[in-house]
């Protein structure tokens, strides 16, 4: 599987002590069985639990770096910081709960080997395997949000919000250096700018299972996510996405 591969796994984490105790050993076991170099970058988004301490417990020195935000800044800010801290040729962004098991990265590697710049996991393609569904109202919210994305910002993708994305760091880092969305709509901003800059993005069906204790606040975050879609268009119109 090695194709000159050095992988950085970026995990944004806010009060994820308990999840990371379960997922980090699985991540380490998988990575230790691979024939390529790797690192793990955990961005502790101002947690008040032991997220930072737990993150360094399961790996040997040099295998993991914990980057801490002084206060809670949001998932988008944390992902952006983690990607810009990463050193690998390839970067995988994954949620702390690994709703898509780490083994699914092999499905994302395939299009990257074929020349695509970015591969994103999808829960909504015909061959996707949703093992555990979200509550019906959350799935409905997701469908509504996707329609708004299609109408206001970005068409051509069925699922922009799956937290499992892999890409060439060298090609994507200039995008992350100008991104501005700190909340959950950062995925849309990333894909919008990637397409605008001519990068090739492949949506890939993956296995996914809902894990309880979602960080999305049901009555607050959907409104903020909608407003962020408008901000993406506004920022672009004002030329704020140009690299210095």
Tokens of 138: 């959350």
Domains of the chain: 6-237 (3.90.550.10)
CB atoms within 10 A of CB 209: 16
What's the pTM value of the predicted model, to 2 decimals? 0.93
pLDDT string in tens for the chain (244-residue length): 455 789 999 999 999 999 999 999 999 999 999 999 999 999 999 999 999 898 878 998 889 999 999 999 999 999 999 999 999 999 999 999 999 999 999 999 999 999 999 999 999 999 999 887 776 677 777 788 888 898 899 988 999 999 999 999 999 999 999 999 999 899 999 999 999 999 999 999 999 998 875 566 665 678 888 999 999 999 999 999 987 5
**Any bridge partners for residue 10, and if so which?**
41, 93
Calculate helix-pair angle for 186-196, 221-237, nearest 10 degrees: 30
Question: In a 3-state reduction of DSSP, which class is residue 65?
Answer: strand
Question: In a 3-state reduction of DSSP, which class is residue 37?
Answer: strand
Residues 15, 81: contact at Cβ < 8 Å? no
| CA atoms of 124 and 153, how far apart (whole Å) | 19
| CA atoms of 46 and 65, how far apart (whole Å) | 15
């Amino acid at each position: 599987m090695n194709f000159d591969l050095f992988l950085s796994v970026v995990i944004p984490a806010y009060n994820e002590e308990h999840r990371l105790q379960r997922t980090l050993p699985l991540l380490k076991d998988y990575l230790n069985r691979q024939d390529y170099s790797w690192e793990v970058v955990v961005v502790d988004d101002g947690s008040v639990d032991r997220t930072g301490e737990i993150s360094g417990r399961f790996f040997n020195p040099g295998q993991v770096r914990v980057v801490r935000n002084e206060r809670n800044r949001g998932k988008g800010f944390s992902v952006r910081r983690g990607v810009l801290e990463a050193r690998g040729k390839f970067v995988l962004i994954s949620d702390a709960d690994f709703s898509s098991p780490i083994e699914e990265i092999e499905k994302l590697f395939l299009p990257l080997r074929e020349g695509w710049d970015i591969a994103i996991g999808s829960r909504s393609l015909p061959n996707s395997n949703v093992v555990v569904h979200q509550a019906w109202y959350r799935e409905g919210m997701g469908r509504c949000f996707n329609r708004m994305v299609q109408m206001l910002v970005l068409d051509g993708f069925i699922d922009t919000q799956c937290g499992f994305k892999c890409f060439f760091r060298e090609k994507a880092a200039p995008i992350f250096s100008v991104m501005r969305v700190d909340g959950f709509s950062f995925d849309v901003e990333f894909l919008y700018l990637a397409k605008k800059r001519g990068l090739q993005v492949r949506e890939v069906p993956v296995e996914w299972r809902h894990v309880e204790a979602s960080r999305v606040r049901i009555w607050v975050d959907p409104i903020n996510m909608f407003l962020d879609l408008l901000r993406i268009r506004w920022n672009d119109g004002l030329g704020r996405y140009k690299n210095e």
